[in-house]
Structure 1
Amino acid sequence: MKTILKSFSVLVLALGASPLLAQQTEFKLPPQATEFYEPVVRKVTPGKENSMAPSDAIILFDGTSLSNFVSSRTGQNPEWTVQNGAMTVAPGKGDIQTKMGFGDMQLHIEWTAPIVIKGEGQGRGNSGIFLMSHYEVQVLDSYESKTYVNGQAASIYKQHPPLVNAMKAPGEWNTYDIYFTAPRFNADGMLVSPARVTVVHNGILVQNNVEIKGPTEYIGIPNYKAHPNELPIKLQDHGDLVSFRNIWVRKL
């Protein structure tokens, strides 16, 4: 019996000492163990200024023609005007959209509200940028104009108001840098992951990786419906003389 108790005591002491021994023994990795060299990161040449397109960007509008767009209504050449390096909405002629489709993307676009101020709220310098033709980043003269906050400039329309109002005065150029992750659907058309978007307005973060609840709806609750992985970017004709310039996109 004494032999058994003695053996048991030795075992308990050994087990009790194990954590202490483990703490005292440090397993050191060389720095190289957590370094890797492949795949080599692809080189992209930045634009001369941050607003200028990098070397891998797709130029959608360079200020000279609407050759990369079609009318959303007719599928033919758009009737918006091009002058002084900018395109301007032709009220009543309808939305325009890119010929190419896009999913995950980095989009740079500059816009200005009309100098002549007319109307108030949603009736003042209104347009919109529809990512994948479904998800709207609002364009609106919200400089000194009251409207519902989830409908002002840089809102995800009727879903997320911007974190701050970063608008410039009418006639001055605003910049949006938009980082968009497209929604994913399974083979049965069920939503796997919703769209997400980050928006930087005039260099200020105004949408921080927010979840898009579904396609933009003016009335009612948004609900996802399965759609292709890439769809056109649409610019809205809301009846106001909003202008756009320097539009480029990078597929991600």
Structure 2
Amino acid sequence: MTKMSAFLLGMTLSACAADAQQPFFDETFSRWQSEIGEWKCVGDVFQNPDQLQRLSILPGQGVVVNGANGNTRHLISRDEFGDIRLHIEFLIPQESNSGIYFMGRYEIQIRDSYHNDSHYAGNECGGIYQRWDETREPKGFEGVSPRVDAAKAPGQWQWFDVVFRAPHFDQNGHKIRNACFEKVYHNGFLIHQDIEISGPTRSSLFEDEKPQGPLMLQGDHGAVAYRNLRILPADSSPFFAMDTGVRDERHLSFEQQSAMLKHLGYDGMDHTGVENLAEKLQVLDRYGLRLFAVYLDVWADRNQQRYNEGLEAALPLLKDRDVVLWVPLRSHDFNPSDPAGDDCAVRIIRRIADLAEGHGLIVALYPHSFFMMEKISDAVRIARQVDRANVGVTFNLCHWLRTDRDDLSATLLRASPFLRMVTLNGADHQGEWKELIQPLDAGDFNVGRVIEVLKEIRYSNPIGLQGYGIGGDVEDNLRRSMQAWLKLQQW
């Protein structure tokens, strides 16, 4: 690459990064095509207690609502998109209806289906709406119902996280791959996975298919409000904060911690142990945050293998949420990295994996320095022996720096068939925990190299921010780390 090419590439990346941070919902509507009808920007909305099919508004910024009557033009983005990862939050009153059209063509339905009949597949909130052909019977076809009904009652904020893949075409313009909803989460539940769409759904902007298209928010089917729209490349990893770094004197409650993470732009967090999961899931759902992992306490001794008391009772709460069970392995009998303990490890991990499989959950072995399974090579070796499709491994940067000096690229490449989760933080090349766990913008270790290798192996699973023992002002730590994360996405 020439210096000029590198300069132009850098300018393009900087422009894209700046554009990605420009809000979609402000009073200028600058990211939408000029004809916006009666859409307006407000501070918040709520269901009108006297007219349950209407929304009342509060002044301010950050929320868009489709006018007083809920019947206006669609909002159509200026930018066109292909493969994307999207987060959006919405609120509808009683009996209302809207929809999000990816590329202006493929709709995820928004509808008050809470305790209401949907009549046909795809008409539920979160459904992939049906296609339509006047020449066939039935005219509607290929609608897909969500595999979990995650709809809330009208008047409550709800949210979608979506990974969408655009159709692909050969050099002659012939379609060689259908559009696909790779993953759709509704209020924290995984409701669709790998659903192909053979063509535009009903009432789309276009009848043809293209590699890119605008995002459209339906505005003429009833009152609706939207907020917190984020669009990123489809292969970008969700970024969450580990609960080891979210607590200080100003953020003692889980409510305060969740509000802070939402404000700073994190996708969610993890949870240590299985206690109080129901209450914490309610808080995360209310803030539009996902629970990404539950960190377990697992022991593998010769005469006894055990895990958290209460795990079986907690697992139904996690069903269909695409949560990873993090499994560190400790032992009184076996030293770190000792293969003599593998048989005991395999027994307990298989028990956990079988429990997890019954609830649609993944297990990711969690290497931890000074534990029985302290290196990622230990985790890969044990995962191969466990031989369960729902068992993978985690790469933890801080523990790798503490215990393992193998080549980074080779380490991640060997782990890649099993790699389900990654945790990062700023760090120095060596030292104690104070040096090995810092905010993401600190330390002399090149975290960008980790991101680069992850992209080379096409890793797009979640990445967690480790914050154990950093101390100080956690909001400042998390803000700095988020800013560093956004810069790292330019690699």
Superposition deviation, residue 64 in structure 1: 4.8
What does residue 76 of structure 1 align with?
Answer: 35
Q: Distance in 2 between matches of 1:86 and 1:215?
A: 28
Distance 1:196 1:245, change over 3 A: same
Q: Classify the secondary structure of the residue corresponding to 2:122.
A: helix
**Can you give the 5+ residue segments of structure 1 that lack an aligned partner in the other structure?**
1-53, 118-123
1:165 to 149, 158, 170: 149
Superposition deviation, residue 58 in structure 1: 4.7
Query: Does the 8 Å contact 1:112/1:173 carry over to 2?
Result: yes
Q: Distance in 2 between matches of 1:81 and 1:218?
A: 23
What does residue 135 of structure 1 align with?
Answer: 106
Q: Distance in 1 between matches of 2:19 and 2:29?
A: 20
Superposition deviation, residue 56 in structure 1: 9.1
Query: Does the 8 Å contact 1:129/1:139 carry over to 2?
Result: yes
**Can you give the 5+ residue segments of structure 2 that lack an aligned partner in the other structure?**
1-16, 44-61, 131-142, 235-491
Provide TM-score, normalisation by structure 2: 0.35
1:86 aligns with 2:49: no
Q: Distance in 2 between matches of 1:80 and 1:243?
A: 9
Distance 1:58 1:215, change over 3 A: farther
Query: Does the 8 Å contact 2:110/2:124 carry over to 1?
Result: yes
What does residue 8 of structure 2 align with?
Answer: none
**Aligned pairs for 1:186-197 within 5 A:** 186-197=170-181
Query: Does the 8 Å contact 1:69/1:96 carry over to 2?
Result: yes
Using CA pairs below 8 Å that are at least 6 residues apart, which structure has the higher relative contact order?
1
Superposition deviation, residue 167 in structure 1: 0.9
RMSD of aligned C-alpha atoms? 2.5
Q: Can you list the C-alpha shifts for 1:58-98, whole angstroms capped at 9, x where unaligned?
A: 5542455422112xxxx435530211131112334211111
**Aligned pairs for 1:82-121 within 5 A:** 82-84=41-43, 85-90=62-67, 91-114=70-93, 117=94
Q: Can you list the C-alpha shifts for 1:178-231, whole angstroms capped at 9, x where unaligned?
A: 100110112333210111112100110001121112110269xxxx8442x221
Q: Can you list the C-alpha shifts for 1:26-63, whole angstroms capped at 9, x where unaligned?
A: xxxxxxxxxxxxxxxxxxxxxxxxxxxx9994554245
Query: Does the 8 Å contact 1:130/1:233 carry over to 2?
Result: yes
Q: Classify the secondary structure of the residue corresponding to 1:233.
A: strand
1:232 aligns with 2:214: yes
Q: Distance in 2 between matches of 1:94 and 1:226?
A: 22
Distance 1:127 1:68, change over 3 A: same
Q: Distance in 2 between matches of 1:192 and 1:100?
A: 24
1:206 to 166, 191, 201: 191
Query: Does the 8 Å contact 2:36/2:75 carry over to 1?
Result: no
Superposition deviation, residue 251 in structure 1: 2.3
Q: Classify the secondary structure of the residue corresponding to 1:99.
A: strand
Q: Distance in 2 between matches of 1:189 and 1:88?
A: 38
Query: Does the 8 Å contact 2:90/2:158 carry over to 1?
Result: yes
What does residue 61 of structure 1 align with?
Answer: 24
1:185 aligns with 2:169: yes
Query: Does the 8 Å contact 1:190/1:226 carry over to 2?
Result: no
Q: Distance in 2 between matches of 1:108 and 1:81?
A: 20
Distance 1:55 1:226, change over 3 A: closer
1:247 aligns with 2:232: no
Equivalent position amino acid for 2:163 in 1 = Y
Superposition deviation, residue 100 in structure 1: 0.6
Equivalent position amino acid for 1:69 in 2 = W
1:156 to 108, 112, 128: 128
Q: Classify the secondary structure of the residue corresponding to 1:192.
A: strand
Distance 1:210 1:62, change over 3 A: same
Query: Does the 8 Å contact 1:66/1:78 carry over to 2?
Result: no
Q: Distance in 1 between matches of 2:170 and 2:90?
A: 36
Q: Distance in 1 between matches of 2:124 and 2:209?
A: 28
Query: Does the 8 Å contact 2:25/2:64 carry over to 1?
Result: no
Distance 1:68 1:185, change over 3 A: same
Q: Distance in 1 between matches of 2:26 and 2:155?
A: 17
Equivalent position amino acid for 1:202 in 2 = N
Equivalent position amino acid for 2:129 in 1 = Y
Q: Distance in 1 between matches of 2:198 and 2:224?
A: 27
